[in-house]
Structure 1
Amino acid sequence: MRMRRRLVRALVRPLALAAAVTALSAGSTASVAADRAVIGGFPVDASQSPWTVALSSRDRFGGTRSGQFCGGAAVGRTTVLTAAHCMDRDVLGGPPERVKDLKVITGRTDLLADRDGQEIAVRSAWVNPAYDGVSNIGDFAVLTLARPLPAGSVIGMAADGDPAYAPGGAATVYGWGDISGAGEYPSDLRAARVRVLPDASCEEAYPGGGADGTYDARSMLCAGEMDGGRDACQGDSGGPLVARGRLIGLVSWGIGCGRAGSPGVYMRVSDIMRTLGWR
């Protein structure tokens, strides 16, 4: 199979892509988690972050782990934000409207516990037309659900100027992704505590001009630890980064998982709000 260059980058968080290619190359429908997951994290119950949802397609990724391949954040009872690259044709095998069983899973801590929580069909998916898969700029999509999420499942978004974006501040990233960087996918939801880093740190780590993406301070933010350790990883793409009780980022890309000098890059929610005209 011919792979586009971004599929073979060293763990750019378009990891849903890597998972889809692996599954298809193997000629199997076995479940494969898609994008980044939490490194250096800890288990958390879904009730503690009810706005964290799993994106699922059993037809595409198999029944194991409920077909999970990316994460998302509920910002309205019928509105979920996720990464644009999670909706890529290379991930889903076609446009999202052709994936008949595309769903979000809410209220489920353990993906193996099929009877827990709810699975809600995705009625429509709007993918940012300005998304650039080379630079990773504009990596977000908006999913509209067929019926409302339970009350209390929505998180508020941090607008421009919110102190939640201040460098040095504490934040938490959530997901069902890889916990080792070596393909070790848990079935239960996990979280990792990270720090919001100065834009200069990511500008230095990802200056552009190569295959590793370009850090754009207006539309992205940087979080993690510069000496490595806690981070998102494969299977976590599109999942929420939360600070001061508000959504500030969506897991997007980076190099490796928890690697020193290569912090995680997230889509800045204030820029998503500006792009969509949300207040």
Structure 2
Amino acid sequence: MRPRPIRSPARALALAAVTALAPLMVSVPAAADSVIIGGAPVSITGNPWVVAVSSRSLFGAARAGQFCGGVVVAPDRVVTAAHCMNEDALGVSPAELADLKVVAGRTKLQAEGGHEIEVSKVYVNPTYDGYTREGDLAVLTLARALPAENVIKVAGPGDPVYEPGTAASVYGWGDTTGYGTYASSLRAAPVQVLPDEACEKAYPGGSAGKYRSATMLCAGGPRGGRDACQGDSGGPLVAKGTLIGLVSWGNGCGKSDSPGVYTRISAFVQQATAGR
């Protein structure tokens, strides 16, 4: 049985990184490379907790090295997807990336301003399963703290923001056409939290993947067409000003019968905020 498609890091600009990322992308249609399906540009000013995870040595300087998304949960902590920090995806271990950074406070990746902050420590959830995608969470400790206003509230167990039908938004940068046409600015797409029953029906197991409600949630448009996708891994799913999920995996992008699956952040509050 093939591993189910994940929301892969952005396509590498260096040959070694392209080779490393290729196995994660072969089972995803070309159209799935759009980072935000059905979205529109937004400003970082109103969403200061969204950051880009960056390595120029692997992904080139043109987009400030962006390859995944992340979100600020404490002045010196950013959460992202565990699969963004996977050695199989990057070609090296995170510890070997001397230029691993987060880019904060910047709507356009190529603009000046904002903050580029080195990552001093990478914590990958030890229960993360690279095959099932369960526990898809990593925490990046920053070498210096961001302003307190950059921090977003994190949902805890039982938070009503997880109720089906709750309006939410997913954020990211990336390819908007499937042919290497990357967005120059941060984008967001409106989605809604879907019932666990709908997610279980969409992903009952087998080649489609298996949805596990204890550690995952799914969201999308009622008729599809709104979703996160390749290059947006680790980016935030936000409802009512609260972080509820991280972009993780899915079957294609924007399909009405295959909604996006996110790491349920409430299942990992202690790891997310403590980074250990």
In the TM superposition, what whole-angstrom CA distance separates every residue of 1:107-161 from its partner, at most 9, and x where no partner exists? 1111121x22110000000001111111110100011000001231000101111
Q: Partners of 1:23 and 1:172 in 2: how far apart?
A: 33
**Superposed, which structure 2 residues align to 1:200-215 within 5 Å?**
200-210=197-207, 212-215=208-211
Does structure 2 conserve the Cα–Cα contact (< 8 Å) formed by 1:181 and 1:234?
no
Corresponding position: 1:12 with 2:32: no
- Which one of 83, 94, 97 corresponds to residue 95 of structure 2? 97
Pair 132,20 (structure 1): closer, same or farther in 2 beyond 3 Å? farther
**Superposed, which structure 2 residues align to 1:245-264 within 5 Å?**
245-264=241-260
Q: Percent identity?
A: 57
- How much does 1:178 deviate? 2.9
**Counterpart residue identity of residue 92, structure 1:** L
**Counterpart residue identity of residue 189, structure 1:** L
- Which one of 133, 136, 139 corresponds to residue 139 of structure 1? 136
Does structure 2 conserve the Cα–Cα contact (< 8 Å) formed by 1:38 and 1:177?
yes
Q: Partners of 1:26 and 1:173 in 2: how far apart?
A: 26
TM-score, scaled to structure 1:
0.87
Does structure 2 conserve the Cα–Cα contact (< 8 Å) formed by 1:136 and 1:214?
no
Pair 198,22 (structure 1): closer, same or farther in 2 beyond 3 Å? farther
- How much does 1:266 deviate? 0.4
**Superposed, which structure 2 residues align to 1:18-167 within 5 Å?**
19-20=11-12, 23-24=15-16, 37-113=35-111, 115-167=112-164
Pair 207,22 (structure 1): closer, same or farther in 2 beyond 3 Å? farther
Match of 1:30 in 2: none
Superposition RMSD on alpha carbons, in Å?
Answer: 2.2
Pair 178,255 (structure 1): closer, same or farther in 2 beyond 3 Å? farther
Q: Partners of 1:36 and 1:251 in 2: how far apart?
A: 14
Q: Secondary structure at the match of 2:71?
A: strand
- How much does 1:226 deviate? 4.4
In the TM superposition, what whole-angstrom CA distance separates every residue of 1:218-239 from its partner, at most 9, and x where no partner exists? 0000100242111001111101
Mean alpha-carbon deviation: is it higher for 62-71 or for 221-230? 221-230
TM-score, scaled to structure 2:
0.88
Does structure 1 conserve the Cα–Cα contact (< 8 Å) formed by 2:107 and 2:186?
yes
Match of 2:185 in 1: 188
Q: Secondary structure at the match of 1:59?
A: helix
Match of 2:234 in 1: 238
Corresponding position: 1:222 with 2:227: no
Does structure 1 conserve the Cα–Cα contact (< 8 Å) formed by 2:34 and 2:177?
no
Match of 1:31 in 2: none
Q: Secondary structure at the match of 2:267?
A: helix
Match of 1:171 in 2: 168
Unaligned runs of 5+ in 1: 28-34
- How much does 1:12 deviate? 2.4
- How much does 1:181 deviate? 4.6
How many residue pairs align between the two structures?
A: 261
**Counterpart residue identity of residue 49, structure 2:** W
- How much does 1:207 deviate? 1.1
Q: Secondary structure at the match of 2:118?
A: strand
Does structure 2 conserve the Cα–Cα contact (< 8 Å) formed by 1:92 and 1:99?
no
Does structure 1 conserve the Cα–Cα contact (< 8 Å) formed by 2:37 and 2:253?
yes
- How much does 1:276 deviate? 6.2
